[in-house]
Amino acid sequence: MDQGNSGLRVEGFVAALGRALASGDAAAAAGLFGAECYWRDLAALTWNIHTAEGRDAIVAMLSATLATARPRGFALESSGATADGGEEGWFTFETATGRGRGHVKLVEGVGFSLLTALQELKGFEEKQGAARPEGVEWGAQRGRVTWQERRAREIAELGHSVQPYVLIVGGGQGGIALAARLRRLEVPAIVIDKLPRPGDAWRSRYKSLCLHDAVWYDHLPYLPFPAHWPVYTPKDQIGDWLEMYTKIMELNFWGATECVGARYDDAKGEWEVQVLRDGVPHTLRPTHLVLATGMSGVPNMPAIAGMESFAGTLCHSSAHREGSAWRGKHCVVVGANNSAHDIAVDLWEHEAASVTMIQRSSTMVARAETLRANGDRGPYSEAAAQRGLSTDQADLMVASVPYAVQPRMQKPVAAQLAHDDADYYARLRKAGFQLDFGEDGSGLGQKYIRRGSGYYIDVGGSELVADGRIALRAAVAVSAFGANTVRLSSGEELPADLVVFATGYGSMNGWAAKLISQDVADKVGKCWGVGSNTTYDPGPWEGELRNMWKPTRQDGLWFHGGNLAQARHYSRYLALQLKARMEGVATPVYALPEVRHRG
């Protein structure tokens, strides 16, 4: 670090960064950072979602991208102190092809982390605010085509005489949020879902289900929930919202449409996708295919001796509807994460004769009330909204923290949780429940990032486990089935009319295997996870979620998913990447990762 820069404050940093980049001097730019440093880029310089870690990586990234990206016009918007004694600032900038916003954090006066996030493409800005359409067409004109007629024509043509540029498979919040972004960017897109109506994926789940995240975290793009919307939206209500949203945003949603196969034609540079729409075969030829089939991928269903002769009902948690059919029956739920708890509670509420939870390995549990209280101090909260913090800004704040830095920030939070709710955790342990707070103590958020599972946000189930109303068998597995029993690895045999495997999901590229081919699934590799070298998230370190919202090793194939907040925020970058390609904007991709995990 150049001594002359050691006293740089945020304003100076941003100005110096601008000068270094303007002169194409990657080394000078990297020299503004400390020994530990990160530059996270969301499609602004790299046309990728990439974090350069350390000065050498920053030099490499800038050397490869500066000549084409030409970042410039850095202008500080605001700056201030951070809670940990550093300084931070927000800035705007532009590139050869777009406009972006960014964040810098200084520690001891030098660059620690930098975020550069593409916000819009020059010449292809969304028509909104002062640039919104007129609606009315001034003047008398013969052959007038109304909004209604134009929309009806689009519906009649798209997917038939006109091919969509993008086909999104999966019409949950992810597919719908992306389709909304693409609509506003005027990219012709169709979303297909095998269920009839938008929101049906939520409606069809067990009846007590509510969103596990609070409303401030859950807004979709463009149309925020109103001020009276409940904190944790009930499943049918979010279903109705998604249905309304799809209509109002004028999305081309094909319900009751199943994707049965897809093949990429390298010569034509387009997909041939076979779908069944209301059972009728139909071929679509999109240029890009987005799998938004749920970041959880294909259900994991183990093969266990005796399954075929089991006389009761066996299903994966995703297929379990609700408990009323199981009154007076013996029920076994395999697994101890969110779905397992919610289903066990639902069965208990419907007065099953017995409900036994089989915990195979340890689980992180956190009381929803405690998480809520923590959240109430964060950027997604009523307090933050009242302070004027927009959801877009909150998204960028969260995105500004590099994945590599998150565990050390989150360990104290998890430790505080363990301390504050110590009695509660003691009661759970006493009942035999196997608890953890993440392999490195980094808690729930990191479990989500690393494996998308391994936790339960407790809305009531843990009390039933603690006092035995839900029976618990821990550190065992199901080893065999009898006609009306389940045998555990401990040797115990349980009566069973219903066995629900809440055993999670494979990686999303399982969908690529299923819908396209195993070759393509292998070519793109595992999705999700950051290479933390923890359970279900093998190393080496990647620094970003694998394959999510960014180019993959298969041309024209993209993955989109995650919770409502991720669906909202990252759909922006995925939509901009697709729009740029449609418009012929050069999108040289920097650092397409090596594929290391085929699973």
Is there binding between residue 120 and a second copy (CB under 8 A)? no
Q: Which residue has the tokens 């249905």?
A: 243
Build a one-symbol-per-residue string for 329-368: x at contacts with a second copy by CB under 8 A, - elsewhere: ----------------x--xxxx----------------x
Distance from C-alpha of 377 to C-alpha of 384, rounded to nearest angstrom: 8
Residue 281 binds a second copy (CB under 8 A): no
The residues near 88 (Cβ < 8 Å, ≥ 6 apart) are: 10, 79, 80, 81, 82, 103, 104, 105, 106
User: Which residue has 């299903």 as its token pair?
Assistant: 315
CA contacts within 13 A on the Cβ side of 557: 28
- Asked if 377 interacts with a second copy (CB under 8 A), we say no
223 counts as binding a second copy under rule CB under 8 A: yes
Tell whether residue 227 is a contact of a second copy (CB under 8 A).
Answer: yes
Residues in a beta bridge with 93: 100
Residues binding a second copy: number (CB under 8 A) = 63
Rounded distance between C-alpha atoms, residue 29 and residue 17, angstroms: 6
Instruction: Measure the CA–CA gap between 249 and 133, rounded to whole angstroms.
Output: 14
Q: For the CB of residue 231, give the shortest distance to a second copy in the complex, in Å.
A: 5
* Window of 156-164, 207-215, 491-499, 512-520 that interacts with a second copy by CB under 8 A: 207-215
Looking at the DSSP bridge assignments, the partners of residue 280 are 277
Residue 453 or 462 having the CB closest to a second copy: 462
CB 359 within 8 A of CB 383: no
> Can the peptide bond before residue 226 be classed as cis, meaning omega within 30 degrees of 0?
no
The verdict on 279 binding a second copy (CB under 8 A) reads no
The CA distance from 146 to 20, in Å, is 52
CB 246 within 8 A of CB 238: no
Q: Does 142 bind a second copy (CB under 8 A)?
A: yes
Report in angstroms how near the CB of residue 36 gets to a second copy at its nearest: 39
Per-residue tokens: 15: 């100005």
**Judged by CB under 8 A, which stretch of 78-86, 121-129, 168-176, 497-505 contacts a second copy?**
121-129
- Residue 175 in 3-state DSSP? helix
Minimal distance in Å, beta carbon 310 to a second copy? Answer: 27
Adjacent-strand bridge partners of 169: 192, 291
Judged by beta carbon, residue 88 or residue 421, the one nearer a second copy is 421
Per CB under 8 A, the list member of 114, 121, 177, 210 interacting with a second copy is 210
Query: Does 135 interact with a second copy (rule: CB under 8 A)?
Result: yes
Task: Give the integer Cα–Cα distance in Å for 387 and 400.
Answer: 20
3-state secondary structure of 524: helix
- In this structure, the dihedral spanned by the alpha carbons of residues 523, 529, 534 and 540, taken in order and rounded to 10 degrees, is 50
Question: How many CA atoms lie less than 13 Å away from 492 in the CB half-sphere?
Answer: 13
Query: Which of 68, 208, 370, 517: binder of a second copy (CB under 8 A)?
Result: 208
Per-residue contact track with a second copy, 385 to 404, x per CB under 8 A? xx------------------
Q: How many CB atoms lie within 10 A of CB 579?
A: 22
Supply the minimum distance, in Å, between the C-beta of residue 508 and a second copy. 28
Cβ-based neighbours of 174, under 8 Å, separated by 6 or more? 292, 294, 295, 560, 561, 562, 566, 567, 571
- Cβ proximity to a second copy: between 85 and 132 the closer is 132
Of 133 and 584, the one with the shorter C-beta distance to a second copy is 133
Phi, psi of 354 (to 5 degrees): -150, 150
**Residue nearer to a second copy on the CB measure, 246 or 552:** 246
Q: Which range binds a second copy by CB under 8 A, 36-44, 77-85, 116-124, 239-247?
A: 239-247
Which of 70, 120, 124, 222 is close enough to bind a second copy by CB under 8 A?
A: 222
Alpha carbon separation from 192 to 184, 185, 542 (Å, rounded): 19, 19, 31
Q: Which stretch binds a second copy (CB under 8 A): 63-71, 74-82, 130-138, 279-287?
A: 130-138
Residue 237: left if φ>0, alpha if ψ -120 to 50, beta else—which one? alpha
Restricting to residues 91-110, which ones interact with a second copy according to CB under 8 A? none
Site membership for a second copy, residue 130 (CB under 8 A)? yes
The residue within the footprint of a second copy, chosen from 23, 147, 468, 596 (CB under 8 A), is 147
Rank residues 186 and 420 by Cβ distance to a second copy and give the closer one. 186
Q: How far is the CB of 167 from a second copy (least distance, A)?
A: 23
Residue closer to a second copy by CB (options 347, 512) is 347
Instruction: Enumerate binding residues for a second copy (CB under 8 A).
Output: 126-130, 132-144, 146-149, 184, 207-208, 210-211, 215, 222-223, 226-234, 236-237, 240-241, 244, 247-248, 345, 348-351, 368-369, 382-383, 385-386, 459-461, 463-464, 469
